[in-house]
Chain A
């Protein structure tokens, strides 16, 4: 073996060791969540072990029943699917318009929309609440969804506009010569080419809406409309927390988002690699 090969091998080993260490730090909390979800409360506090002494599978059934996960799960599913679909439709059309069309006040309007990224959700609670009240949308799914959609527009716009601007204009010009309309170009050419960026947007917005909790608690009152994160709340008291049930609940709540991530994974890598997150 020559010195170059030996050097490369050592570098590879070091790189892999670093990657393994990083991977462990990422995976360990998930492992801990799974392990704790199968322990008793006493075991969690008294012994720090990787695996449970006796596997408490009943924690999952208890968590499902106690937190009324079925109802909350369906709600979150609806909020996520409708919300993310609406965000993708609205922001992709808006981003395409900002990237390709010329209209008065375009730059100002774009930065105005982007600046809403700087407003923290708790800071918008009161105005949102009053706005929904005046629209008679308080304690309705529509009201909550409109908040989610409006909250996702700025980021979607930021992400997709950069991507659309990178697309070669020549393809669109060829389509125009062939008689394709502006909307046709957006729908048949730009959007399919933007699949990696859209996938990135989908996964990020899925995560955001699925895990959202503060806005739902402020906007909604009827428990039957609450999202899945509300279910997890029942395990957290003022002074104490039922950790095994909370961890079981968290595991249940994590499964759909992991599935979505796995389905979209290859697109996300492409999306990021193709410059989807360029500003």
Chain B
């Protein structure tokens, strides 16, 4: 290496080092003691959040900063690391299941908002949206009963249908099928017209489970589901067999899009948005997704078709959505709570819903929503009720896998339910 090139290299390095030393060591982040800091993962809502933060500053003089960290797993890592260092922001979401959420609460990282909520704040929310953020008396994690989170939006899952494809198949786009036989009949007509009748991300087990759960609620009711979890009703009960047979019937009538059991929801969304399938089972977030993928898509939504012999009303999966939690250690806790109160009022929620096409958690904002979202919003009152206990995840997983097996014809419904029951017995022995 020549002396000249060495000097040039050294000078360049020193120049960059100098720039970095000057600008890098100082912490210029928003460390204003009065600034409420929020960490979130919803990159597509950043602009709307910033606009509302500006409005809040104009009205109250309190500065609120929304900082985005995505994707969700990175966000979660950041929250975990920050919690270990007692450096959590004023408002955040640990992105965890109830068990982990409980550990954050028990560690003193999440504030109990029950008293604040009882001042009338909780009345603005859909009841279901609060349940996911609450802990009941004698919960298994030892958390003091109360409300800990503030719901920002809610979601539910319904069937979207393509009106243009319905017309092509000779179906009435304003009267989608309401009952199971009508649904199967519509599927046959669509298939005869060369259209794939139904698509969904059934490669993601939770989606197939969500679809089947509507029929579980419809045939068993709440007590029946609890009795099944307790092992009092076996999974080879004729009603469970009927649920599995619904999927077999769809298969026999060629209703499923090809590759449905390996399809992730993103692919299913693309298939529906591009008119390659007439119906899809998807969440309310799909409204925004389809608008982005195909703004001219002409569609409507309908409930999963009801069963003629069902004893209980048909309910849908959903009711909860994104939530925010207040850092109990924050010196700006009161300001954070005051901001969230303002943030969840009708006007702000309506703005957020309009900009982001999500269903607001504030039930009074629904009237200002676009028609489709209003329908979704109405469905929130028809979502599954809260259960005091949950089925073992191994059993739930087994149900979903066996439903997939029925769809591809690997197992017949009788064998599938028998195997689920065997798994249930296995898990009950493990629990004992």
Contacts and interface: CB of A to CB of B under 8 A. Distances in A.
Interface of A: 41-42, 45-46, 78, 81-82, 85, 122, 125-126, 128-130, 133, 138-142, 145, 187-188, 191-192, 213-214, 217-218, 221-225, 233-240, 242
Interface of B: 1, 12-13, 16-17, 19-21, 23-30, 41-46, 67-72, 74, 77-78, 80-82, 84-85, 87, 270, 273-274, 285-286, 288-289, 292-295
21 contacts: A45-B270, A45-B293, A78-B16, A125-B77, A125-B80, A126-B84, A128-B81, A129-B85, A133-B87, A138-B27, A140-B24, A142-B21, A145-B20, A218-B81, A221-B67, A236-B71, A238-B70, A240-B288, A240-B289, A240-B293, A242-B292
Nearest to B155: A239
Contacts, number: 118
A259 to B, nearest CB: 16
Q: Which 4 A-B pairs have the closest CB atoms?
A: A141-B24, A237-B44, A222-B29, A129-B81
A240 B44 contact: yes
A142 B46 CA distance: 28
B68 A238 contact: no
A242 B77 CA distance: 25
Given A218-B77, A237-B43, A82 B70 contact: no
A131 to B, nearest CB: 10
Prevailing SS type, chain A contact patch: helix
Nearest to A239: B285
Contacts of A236: 43, 70-71
A45 B21 CA distance: 46
Contact of B295 (A42, A187, A191, A235): A42
A129 B82 contact: yes
Contacts of A223: 67
Contact of A41 (B12, B68, B87, B293): B293
- Identify which of A122, A138, A237, A242 gathers the most chain B CB atoms within 10 Å of its CB: A237
A50 B84 CA distance: 49
Contacts of B293: 41-42, 45, 240
A224 B41 CA distance: 18
Contacts of B27: 138-140, 222
Given A46-B274, A222-B28, A222-B30, A81 B77 contact: no
Given A221-B29, A223-B67, A45 B294 contact: yes
A125 B27 CA distance: 20
Contacts of A81: 12-13, 16
B74 A126 contact: no
B87 to A, nearest CB: 7
Given A85-B13, A222-B27, A222-B28, A214 B20 contact: no
Contacts of B44: 237-240
Contact of B19 (A78, A129, A214, A240): A78
